């Protein structure tokens, strides 16, 4: 096989046993890698109903056949597990040198199960695995831990670490790498913490195989040149995703006051233009020639890496003005290893609960000192932090019905930074995202703004399926960054061409979409297996967007229409080959070679 190694490394932390497993070629042809490989491994290996924070849950770190090869923005890897936040399938991608090194170990993925008795870290160098002590790193911030490990293993290695939030099982703790690149929003950092695994250090020295090197070089060089020649390139390099603050304000989707509104009068205090003035450095992922990690000096004159999502969620959503303050909270969250999107939601929810006197504590909107205090308390589960560490869904359930009406999440994962009162397709994207509400799988709001903003149409459902297939299916399994396509218009056809050159087999966008459809359907089967009492209500966006209209901005008075939303959801199910409950049909499972899930689904919900 070219492109893949055909081998996965299994590590059992309880027994400290390691084994190498050769996977059948069909795993790669049917799932490609990254997310695809991860969900298949989790389906096969995780006991149904496993407690996500128990030793029996598996953590998968997976690369794809294009990861960390010299082609645009390829330095990503996927971290996946059963989520402690949603109790369904959870994953995230991270742009990191760990991707480069994982690809060069000779393994396509590392699967970790069991738990250590005392804090430790894994050191993987090619096919050599060492279990190292991490007592002195436990309790340290993610940045300190990475620095400490780098002193031992040097700069020529990849580092995946957790902070105190992961150690203390905060349900939305992330895995952090390279001082602020983090991933695994649905609590994948807490899964590492539950295994007493502070870090994974990986060093690889083997060259991944490429079937047609000359063709690969030609296509890749051309793709790099196209990125540089794009009209959008110069502005992207200046602002990256931070330009979206102004765009969201103009289009009334900037999350404001716990997603109450889509505009904020002080949006300029957190804008991309202001960020440019504070910028001191640009960072990015390996092999990327459009690096978008904008580093600014925060309120304490420390470096903080910003993007749109963290600034909107820790800025407008909690009414925290002044970009340097927002940057400071962002930096603290990175040090603690806590997801900034969920943190912004949790704080917004808590502030609203306080305003409505549903909690004893009084927390004012935009109170910088309180926000910092609460972030730290959360990471250590101290005082009210133990409540905040549970995430919005559980917080709301414990406060009762009134609170559930302003709890902004889908399936337990807090919504990322687009208000959807006036964006029905983006609401559907959040509802049907395979990890709970996240924009990664379909940023359809830009299409919606350009076309039929308030329409509930079949075309939008169709576009959503396409975007999910490309973003959540193709890019997450290859595993490369979607932004060259999204932001500077790199033609999608480059990716099947590159995959064909690397693997030596012919791939087209259509054949990749078949894999994507399989991945989405298997992830859905996984959720149903874990939830058992599945219903279509689980695919609904937050109630607030249906019940409480916007009061400000160009769409004042607008809210989502329940009947029309349901119609779009029906179209979506039909296009995926799922029934009206959102359960894959037997015929769909057969068509996608997923018959092995049928007996389980049949027993739990019955198949149509
Ligand atoms: S565009 Fe940004 S996120 Fe994507 S690979 Fe480059 S630096 Fe990483």
Ligand 1 centroid distance, CA of 94 (Å)? 10
Q: Is the CB of 490 under 6 A from ligand 1?
A: no
pLDDT at 40: 98
pLDDT at 80: 98
Note the helical H segments in 469-585. 476-478, 483-488, 494-503, 509-531, 544-547, 562-576
CA distance 261 to 248: 11
Of all protein residues, the one whose alpha carbon is nearest to atom 8 of ligand 1 is 285
Atom of ligand 1 nearest to the CA of 76: 5
Closest CA to 193 of 409, 414, 380: 380
Give 112: exposed, middle or buried? Use CB within 10 Å, 0-12, 13-18, 19+: buried
Those residues with Cβ within 8 angstroms of residue 603's Cβ, 6 or more apart along the chain or in another chain: none
**Residues 148-181: b if buried by 16+ CB within 10 A, e if exposed:** bbeeebeeebbbbbbbbbbbbbbbbbbbbbbbbb
In tens, the pLDDT along 192-226 reads 999 999 999 999 999 999 999 999 999 999 999 99
Those residues with Cβ within 8 angstroms of residue 393's Cβ, 6 or more apart along the chain or in another chain: 85, 407, 409, 412
CA distance 126 to 216: 25
Q: Is the CB of 68 under 6 A from ligand 1?
A: no
Those residues with Cβ within 8 angstroms of residue 136's Cβ, 6 or more apart along the chain or in another chain: 148
pLDDT at 600: 98
CA distance 282 to 305: 8
In tens, the pLDDT along 539-567 reads 999 999 999 999 999 999 999 999 999 99
Q: Is the CB of 242 under 6 A from ligand 1?
A: no
Question: pLDDT exceeding 70 applies to what percent of the chain?
Answer: 100
pLDDT higher than threshold 90 for residue 179: no
Q: Is the CB of 291 under 6 A from ligand 1?
A: yes
Query: What would the two tokens of residue 220 be?
Result: 């890749």
CB 259 within 8 A of CB 249: no
To test the ligand 1 pocket, which listed residue (243, 290, 309, 482) has its Cβ within 8 A of the most ligand atoms? 290
Query: What would the two tokens of residue 305 be?
Result: 């890496």
To test the ligand 1 pocket, which listed residue (241, 309, 481) has its Cβ within 8 A of the most ligand atoms? 481
For the segment 441-447, the average pLDDT, to the nearest whole number, is 95
Q: Is the CB of 95 under 6 A from ligand 1?
A: yes
For the segment 407-425, the average pLDDT, to the nearest whole number, is 98
CA distance 370 to 234: 38
> Is the sign of the CA dihedral 547, 552, 556, 561 positive or negative?
negative
Q: What confidence tier does 180 reach under pLDDT thresholds 50, 70, 90?
A: confident
> Is the sign of the CA dihedral 555, 321, 392, 483 positive or negative?
positive
Mean pLDDT, the chain, rounded, equals 97
For the segment 115-123, the average pLDDT, to the nearest whole number, is 98
Of all protein residues, the one whose alpha carbon is nearest to atom 2 of ligand 1 is 292
Atom of ligand 1 nearest to the CA of 293: 7
Ligand 1 centroid distance, CA of 285 (Å)? 5
pLDDT higher than threshold 90 for residue 323: yes
Q: What confidence tier does 530 reach under pLDDT thresholds 50, 70, 90?
A: very high
Ligand 1 centroid distance, CA of 292 (Å)? 6
Q: Is the CB of 292 under 6 A from ligand 1?
A: yes
Q: Is-above-0.75 flag for pTM?
A: yes
Question: pLDDT exceeding 90 applies to what percent of the chain?
Answer: 100
């Amino acid at each position: 096989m070219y492109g893949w190694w055909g081998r996965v490394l299994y590590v059992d932390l309880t027994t400290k046993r390691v084994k190498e497993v050769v996977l059948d070629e069909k795993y790669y042809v049917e799932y490609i890698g990254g997310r695809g490989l991860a969900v298949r491994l989790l389906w096969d290996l995780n006991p149904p109903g496993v407690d996500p924070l128990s030793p029996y849950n598996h953590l998968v770190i997976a690369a794809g056949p294009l990861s960390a090869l010299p082609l645009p923005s390829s330095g990503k890897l996927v971290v996946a597990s059963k989520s402690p936040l949603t109790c369904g399938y959870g994953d995230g991608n991270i742009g990191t040198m760990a991707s480069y090194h994982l690809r060069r170990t000779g393994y396509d993925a590392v699967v970790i199960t069991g738990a250590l008795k005392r804090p430790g870290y894994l050191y993987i160098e090619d096919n050599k695995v060492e279990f190292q002590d991490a007592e002195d790193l436990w309790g340290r911030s993610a940045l300190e831990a990475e620095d400490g490990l780098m002193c031992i293993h040097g700069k020529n290695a990849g580092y995946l670490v957790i902070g105190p939030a992961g150690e203390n099982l905060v349900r939305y703790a992330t895995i952090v790498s390279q001082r602020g690149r983090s991933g695994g929003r649905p609590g994948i950092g807490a899964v590492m913490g539950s295994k007493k695994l502070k870090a994974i250090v990986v060093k690889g020295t083997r060259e991944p195989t490429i079937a047609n090197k000359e063709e690969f070089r030609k296509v890749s060089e051309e793709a790099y040149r196209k990125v540089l020649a794009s009209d959008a390139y110069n502005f992207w390099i200046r602002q990256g995703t931070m330009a979206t603050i102004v765009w969201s304000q103009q289009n009334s989707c900037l999350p404001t006051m716990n997603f109450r509104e889509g505009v904020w009068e002080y949006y300029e205090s957190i804008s991309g233009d202001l960020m440019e003035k504070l910028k001191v450095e640009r960072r990015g992922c390996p092999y990327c020639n459009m690096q978008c990690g904008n580093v600014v000096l925060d309120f304490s004159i420390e470096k903080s890496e910003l993007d749109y999502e963290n600034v909107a969620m820790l800025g407008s959503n909690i009414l925290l003005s002044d970009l340097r303050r927002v940057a400071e909270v962002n930096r603290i969250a990175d040090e603690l290893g806590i997801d900034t999107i969920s943190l912004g939601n949790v704080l917004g929810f808590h502030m609203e609960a306080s305003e409505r006197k549903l909690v004893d504590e009084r927390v004012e909107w935009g109170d910088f000192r309180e926000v910092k205090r609460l972030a730290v308390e959360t990471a250590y589960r101290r005082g009210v932090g133990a409540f905040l560490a549970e995430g919005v869904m559980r917080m709301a359930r414990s406060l009762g019905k009134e609170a559930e009406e302003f709890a902004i999440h889908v399936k337990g994962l807090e919504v990322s930074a687009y208000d959807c009162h006036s964006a029905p397709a983006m609401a559907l994207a959040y509802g049907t995202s395979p990890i709970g509400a996240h924009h990664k799988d379909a940023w359809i709001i830009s299409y919606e703004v350009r076309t039929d903003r308030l329409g509930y149409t079949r075309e939008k459902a169709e576009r959503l399926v396409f975007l999910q297939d490309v973003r959540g299916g193709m890019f997450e399994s290859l595993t490369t960054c979607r932004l060259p396509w999204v932001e500077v218009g790199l033609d999608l056809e480059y990716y099947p061409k590159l995959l064909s050159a690397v693997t030596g087999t012919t791939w087209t966008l259509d054949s990749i979409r078949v894999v994507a459809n399989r991945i989405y359907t298997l992830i859905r089967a996984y959720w149903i297996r874990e939830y058992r009492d599945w219903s279509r209500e689980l695919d609904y966006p937050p109630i607030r967007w249906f019940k409480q209209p916007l009061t400000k901005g160009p769409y004042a008075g607008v809210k989502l229409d329940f009947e029309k939303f349901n119609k779009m959801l029906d179209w979506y199910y039909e296009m995926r080959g799922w029934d009206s409950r959102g359960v894959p049909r037997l015929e769909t499972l057969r068509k996608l070679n997923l018959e092995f899930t049928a007996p389980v689904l049949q027993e739990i919900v019955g198949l149509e």
